[in-house]
Structure 1
Amino acid sequence: MLVHRSSPTHQTTVSIAGVPVGEPGLALIAGPCAAESERQLRTVAERLALMGIQLLRAGVYKPRTSPYSFQGLQEPGLELLRIIKRDYGLGIVSEVMSVAQLDRAYDVFDCFQVGSRNMQNFELLKALGQTRKPVLLKRGLAATIEEFLGAAEYIVAGGNAQVILCERGIRSFDPATRNVLDLGAVALLKRLTHLPVLVDPSHATGRRDLVLPAARAAAAVGADGLIVECHPTPEQSVSDAAQALSLDDLAQLVTEVSAVAQAVGRGLSYPVERAA
């Protein structure tokens, strides 16, 4: 398989809007679960810039369990992200669920996210294989490692080697946390594949008080970075409010993850002093 590591030194680094994702530094992607308004996005973007975080996540196409839940701002949200990208110079990481959305978002998104529910949307994976932009592929709710790597293979086999894997927790019988963060899978993937591996501690835990310790653990086990949800007023978030960090908590996460990364010989992909 093309995604398999051919030697211990075989390692791919993927660039998202000039930000390297892969060894040696840890990359950070942060932002709200959903784009809600220009004011919300500007508040987040300004704070990310102060922290030195150069990649913004914000959903405009939202896959929801219920058809009556907020589905994202759709096309108006896409225009908001276009404005934020222009005004703040941030790279945009956001989800697409169909080939049609991929076409509409192509000149706005710097990295296409494939959510857990679409990990085996094979027509979408094939289309992403024909693009020349990075893809952040999230592990399915109950996907095995073999299935996860098989989904990545669809994209790479199509000609796009810019794939980043993301462990976001797998479903279990225990409702105490939203999912079970499989850190063993992160360590295993780092041995099996040359692709970068990120961790999403927000979706993995579903609780903001657990996001920081999960993020520290991810850095310690060898993850190449994190994708984290944050919001100016987390309790008012239109989706995933329980797991969104405040912007002050995000700054604390940067400081703590930097310390762990340095302890394991990694560091962040930008100076930590800017996170103050």
Structure 2
Amino acid sequence: MVIVMQPSASEDDLSTVVEFIRSGNGEAFVSRGVNRTVIGLVGDVDQFDDHHLRSLQGVADVVRISAKYKLVSREHHPHRSAVRVGGVPIGPDTVTLIAGPCAVETFDQTLEAATMAREAGATLLRGGAYKPRSSPYAFQGLGPLGLRILAEVREATGLPVVTEVVSPADVDLVAEHVDMVQIGTRNMQNFPLLQAVGAIDKPVMLKRGMSSTIEEWLMAAEYIAQRGNLDIVLCERGIRTFETETRNTLDVSAVPVAQQLSHLPVIIDPSHSGGRRDLVLPLTRAAIAVGADGVIVDVHATPETALCDGPQALVHADIPLLAAAVEAFATASGRTMVRTDRLAV
């Protein structure tokens, strides 16, 4: 059961509802989004009278939901949501480009990649300070130094920053430096980490696990929402199949399916799915055509020297093509590409 609070509800109203639930031996999980606050009721919901709950001060509606993922389900919230990251929207009616280096290596390298991202029309900068890698001998990221570099590049370019967090112990530190935290494919079912990012006041990008079903992906999002954070963006980044010609298999069907099941925005990562530079632009076009709310793309000025995933990074010559593809396909699908000069002040 989900109790939806009125926009004008006070903290006292919220406390009254929470205490009422607890007095009936139920558990109350308060989740706050940009436009609404909801309370997830866990326990024997049949003992709670819907009409009584609706009569409480500040309550807008009471919804009984059959889906396992109650807070992120469209049963609870029929209209699709938009999430704002440092003022940049990700959601219906727009297409948002997120771009930058897969890994932060130096200030100059990150700044040049951020400049390339801006030239492509990106309004958010991605860059990895922590890199969970399959091999323990591969570059693992600069950690806190990488976070400081990202913050400095944000100051220099004005681009809000997205970066990955890999440990619950680092969540607060990462959140201090960036505008959106990312949960990578290897951590999609790291439940303590999901609960930790659910407790912060920053949007979360949740990548689909490489071997996870869509339901498991949405249940992972529910872990975040249940702890209080409704500002979640889902990211399809390719799944593991029998195919070996690409790094992963991009599941474009996951976009409309997830959008039908959940109100959360859904974006696509064409870089990590294909794993090859020549596939990034075709997969970007496919992502927007199928209805993705945005794409997250790797760029690097000298990918031959990159410490992480150089073969999939776009170079300077690709930037005009990326900009043209996102703009054209957004327009063709009846949406607007999010650009800095189009954002409301």
- TM-score normalised by the chain length of structure 1: 0.95
**CA shift at 1:50, angstroms?**
3.6
Q: 1:272 to 1:83 in 2, by over 3 A?
A: closer
Q: Which residue of 2 aligns with 1:258?
A: 327
Q: Which residue of 1 aligns with 2:146?
A: 77
Preserved contact between residue 258 and residue 272 of structure 1 (Cα < 8 Å) = no
**CA shift at 1:51, angstroms?**
3.8
Once the two structures are superposed, residues 34-59 of structure 1 have per-residue CA deviations (whole angstroms, 9 ceiling, x without a partner) of 00111111112223334442211010
Structure (1 or 2) with the larger CA radius of gyration: 2
Q: Does residue 60 of the first structure (1) align with residue 124 of the second (2)?
A: no
**CA shift at 1:133, angstroms?**
0.5
Query: Helix, strand or coil: the match of 1:106?
Result: helix
Q: Pairwise mapping of residues 219-234 of structure 1 onto structure 2 (< 5 A)?
A: 219-234=288-303
Q: Which residue of 2 aligns with 1:195?
A: 264
The structure that is strand-richer by fraction is 2
Preserved contact between residue 32 and residue 230 of structure 1 (Cα < 8 Å) = yes
Q: Which residue of 2 aligns with 1:100?
A: 169
**CA shift at 1:25, angstroms?**
0.7
**CA shift at 1:271, angstroms?**
7.3
**CA shift at 1:247, angstroms?**
3.0
Instruction: Name which structure has the greater RCO, CA cutoff 8 Å, separation 6+.
Output: 1
Q: 1:138 to 1:234 in 2, by over 3 A?
A: same
Q: Does residue 149 of the first structure (1) align with residue 213 of the second (2)?
A: no
Q: Distance in 2 between matches of 1:117 and 1:170?
A: 12
Q: Which residue of 1 aligns with 2:239?
A: 170
Q: Distance in 1 between matches of 2:299 and 2:103?
A: 10
Q: Does residue 19 of the first structure (1) align with residue 88 of the second (2)?
A: yes
Q: Distance in 1 between matches of 2:319 and 2:212?
A: 29
Preserved contact between residue 27 and residue 268 of structure 1 (Cα < 8 Å) = yes
Preserved contact between residue 31 and residue 228 of structure 1 (Cα < 8 Å) = yes
- Aligned pairs, number: 273
Query: Helix, strand or coil: the match of 1:20?
Result: strand
Q: Which residue of 1 aligns with 2:185?
A: 116
Preserved contact between residue 97 and residue 121 of structure 2 (Cα < 8 Å) = no
Q: Does residue 49 of the first structure (1) align with residue 137 of the second (2)?
A: no
Once the two structures are superposed, residues 7-33 of structure 1 have per-residue CA deviations (whole angstroms, 9 ceiling, x without a partner) of 895111000111000011101100011
Gap runs ≥5 in structure 2: 1-69
Query: Helix, strand or coil: the match of 1:183?
Result: coil
Preserved contact between residue 136 and residue 163 of structure 1 (Cα < 8 Å) = yes
Q: Which residue of 2 aligns with 1:181?
A: 250
Q: Distance in 1 between matches of 2:309 and 2:300?
A: 10
Q: Which residue of 1 aligns with 2:278?
A: 209
Q: Which residue of 2 aligns with 1:91?
A: 160
Between 227-236 and 264-273, report the one with greater CA deviation: 264-273
**CA shift at 1:225, angstroms?**
0.2
Once the two structures are superposed, residues 97-136 of structure 1 have per-residue CA deviations (whole angstroms, 9 ceiling, x without a partner) of 0112212112111100000000000001011111111000
Gap runs ≥5 in structure 1: none
Once the two structures are superposed, residues 166-189 of structure 1 have per-residue CA deviations (whole angstroms, 9 ceiling, x without a partner) of 000000112100000001111111
Q: Distance in 1 between matches of 2:182 and 2:152?
A: 20
Given candidates 212, 231, 246, the residue that maps to 2:315 is 246
Q: Distance in 2 between matches of 1:74 and 1:182?
A: 31
Preserved contact between residue 123 and residue 339 of structure 2 (Cα < 8 Å) = no
Preserved contact between residue 255 and residue 272 of structure 1 (Cα < 8 Å) = no
Q: 1:234 to 1:272 in 2, by over 3 A?
A: farther
% identity of equivalent residues: 50
Q: Does residue 37 of the first structure (1) align with residue 106 of the second (2)?
A: yes
- Tell me the C-alpha RMSD between the 2 structures: 1.6
Preserved contact between residue 44 and residue 247 of structure 1 (Cα < 8 Å) = no
Q: Distance in 2 between matches of 1:150 and 1:9?
A: 18
Given candidates 7, 10, 23, the residue that maps to 2:79 is 10
Q: Which residue of 2 aligns with 1:136?
A: 205
Q: Distance in 1 between matches of 2:166 and 2:299?
A: 22
Structure 2 counterpart of 1:234, which letter?
P
Q: Distance in 2 between matches of 1:7 and 1:272?
A: 34
Once the two structures are superposed, residues 239-274 of structure 1 have per-residue CA deviations (whole angstroms, 9 ceiling, x without a partner) of 11111111331331121122112111112012799x
Q: Which residue of 2 aligns with 1:160?
A: 229
- TM-score normalised by the chain length of structure 2: 0.76
Query: Helix, strand or coil: the match of 2:337?
Result: coil
Query: Helix, strand or coil: the match of 2:238?
Result: coil
